[in-house]
Amino acid sequence: MIAGYAWSVLGGTRAGASVLAAPATLYGFLYLLLRLEDYALLAGSLALFLILAFVMYVTRRMDWYELKLRNGGPRTEL
């Protein structure tokens, strides 16, 4: 239902499929963690490590200072 809504609002099959894949992956992983019982901590730790590695890889060339300056920087006046 969410993927169908995203497909109509975002106007494309690709966007709908990506919205469908995100919660399906999350729900699948949570189901896996519940089923593993004995190895849930290990599987959760490995998954968080992989997610962190992916985020670090994707943002490795992002210029954070340029983003701060483009948005006007922090406001210091009260």
Q: What confidence score (pLDDT) does residue 51 get? A: 93
Mean pLDDT taken over the chain: 85
The span from the CA of 13 to the CA of 15, in Å, is 6
Q: Which two tokens stand for residue 74?
A: 């922090």
**Cβ neighbours for 33, distance < 8 A, ≥ 6 positions apart:** 40, 43, 44
Residues of the chain with pLDDT under 50: none
Q: What confidence score (pLDDT) does residue 55 get? A: 94
